């Protein structure tokens, strides 16, 4: 059993459902301290975070990740206990195996081997780890970055361990992410009896034409790095449950995933102008959960591409597809940010899994990136 696999098993056994950490961070800090890292717990509210650093000089390379996992879901659908990792036919099963305790284990063991080979490496290796990535993401990485900026600690290169790969580990790396803008629209009507519609005003009927136009709108064309901006309705609620009552309100929850061709302000303005044009009586609450970010090139991407080519024998693909990640809090500081992790086919699913050999491959890739940047 490799060191990476052994550590991954130990991490998966700890039921760290957001925002619980269940001792994962203490275990990681213990391993890092043995390598000469200074470790600093940085709790905010009910969220555990830590910052670890080996070296005092720049440039600063950062491994970023999260120990929290999503709930396992229906336990009877799992083939084995989600928090008792199992290996079957070379596949490791357990909650967090791919997202992202496997990556965390690979980061730690890559650092251990690198430090053993290059004890006087240049620059600094750091870890920024949170237990709030899968949850509200308020008291996690965002707060740690604020703390680091307040004391002028800057990150040059940040590798986030999110599961970026599709078919083979390393075949896709994320060099950016789209922005995420959510909204809750409440269209107001007048409740009444369905037999007397002239005495009521149906907010669902009023909202439908506007919603149809929103879903048909082309918000931008995207660009060479980002696909076009998308608008999706995720929830609609209206009515009392009775079949003979016209509802008084209709609530619509929606989300934009937007490219750098659009921005938060322009999207809000265009939506509100459209709703006004349809003469709706409405209220809307906006929530921006992440701005788009992009690392178009640089030393970090070059190091990752070279490492993947050397170890796996193929050219990786750069992508900005997918959801948000904590890279959105780190990139605005000026850091080059890249996401490289295992295959993402089963993340957040029942029977989440990762190929055992992929963990060792990933650890070797991480180590080679360190070699290229810090030697």
Kindly list the catalytic residues: 68, 133
Contact 315/364 with Cβ under 8 angstroms?
no
Q: How many CA atoms lie within 13 A of 79 on its CB side?
A: 12
What is the Cα 68 distance to its own chain's centre?
A: 12
Burial class for 4, CB neighbours closer than 10 Å (0-12, 13-18, 19+): buried
List, in sequence order, every residue forming a beta bridge with 233; answer none if it has no partner.
Answer: 254
342 — phi, psi (to 5°)?
-75, -175
What SS3 class is residue 29?
A: helix
* Cα first-last separation, the chain: 29
**Strands lying side by side in the sheet with 124-130:** 38-41, 49-54, 124-130, 60-66, 157-160, 336-339, 172-174, 317-319
Give the C-alpha separation, 302 to 318, whole Å.
11
DSSP annotation string for 151-184: TT---SEEEE----BSSSTTSEEESEE-EEEEEE
Side-chain half-sphere exposure of 141, counting CA atoms within 13 A? 27
What are residue 41's DSSP bridge partners?
Answer: 50
The angle, 0 to 180 degrees and rounded to 10, between the axes of the packed helices 203-216 and 264-277 is 130
Among candidates 16, 13, 97, which has minimal Cα distance to 49? 16
Q: Cis ω on the peptide bond leading into residue 270 (within 30° of 0)? A: no
Reduced to 3 states (helix: H, G, I; strand: E, B; else coil), residue 150 is: helix
The stretches of 182-326 forming alpha helices (DSSP H) are 203-216, 264-277, 299-312
Ramachandran angles phi, psi of 218, nearest 5°: -95, 115
């Amino acid at each position: 059993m490799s060191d990476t696999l052994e550590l991954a098993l130990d991490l998966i056994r700890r039921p760290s459902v957001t925002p619980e950490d269940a001792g994962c961070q203490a275990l990681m800090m213990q391993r890092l301290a043995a390598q000469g890292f200074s470790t600093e717990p940085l709790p905010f509210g009910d969220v555990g975070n830590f910052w670890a650093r080996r070296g005092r000089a720049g440039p600063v390379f950062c491994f970023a990740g999260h120990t929290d996992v999503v709930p396992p879901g229906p336990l009877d659908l799992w083939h084995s206990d989600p928090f008792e990792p199992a290996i079957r036919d070379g596949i490791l099963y357990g909650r967090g195996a791919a997202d992202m305790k496997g990556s965390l284990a690979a980061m730690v063991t890559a650092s251990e081997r690198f430090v053993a080979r290059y004890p006087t490496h240049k620059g600094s290796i750091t870890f920024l780890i949170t237990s709030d990535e899968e949850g509200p993401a308020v008291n996690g990485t965002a707060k740690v970055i604020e703390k680091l900026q307040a004391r002028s600690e800057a990150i040059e290169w940040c590798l986030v361990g999110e599961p970026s790969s599709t078919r083979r580990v390393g075949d896709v790396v994320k060099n950016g992410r789209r922005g995420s803008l959510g909204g809750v629209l409440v269209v107001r009507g007048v409740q009444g009896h369905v037999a007397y519609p002239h005495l009521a005003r149906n907010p669902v009927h009023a909202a439908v034409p506007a919603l149809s136009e929103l879903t048909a709108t082309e918000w931008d064309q995207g660009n060479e790095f980002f696909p076009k901006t998308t608008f999706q309705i995720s929830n609609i609620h209206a009515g009392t449950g009775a079949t003979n009552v016209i509802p008084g309100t209709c609530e619509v929850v929606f989300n934009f995933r937007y490219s750098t061709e659009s921005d938060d302000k322009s999207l809000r303005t265009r939506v509100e102008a459209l709703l006004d044009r349809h003469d709706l009586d409405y209220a809307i609450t906006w929530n921006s959960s992440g701005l788009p970010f992009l690392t178009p090139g640089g030393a970090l991407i070059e190091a990752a591409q070279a490492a993947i080519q050397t170890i796996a024998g193929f050219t990786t693909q750069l992508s900005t597809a997918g959801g948000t990640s904590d890279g959105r809090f780190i990139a605005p500081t000026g850091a080059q940010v890249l996401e490289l992790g295992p295959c993402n086919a089963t993340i957040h699913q029942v029977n989440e899994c990762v190929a055992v050999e992929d963990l060792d491959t990933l650890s070797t890739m991480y180590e080679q990136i360190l070699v290229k940047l810090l030697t």
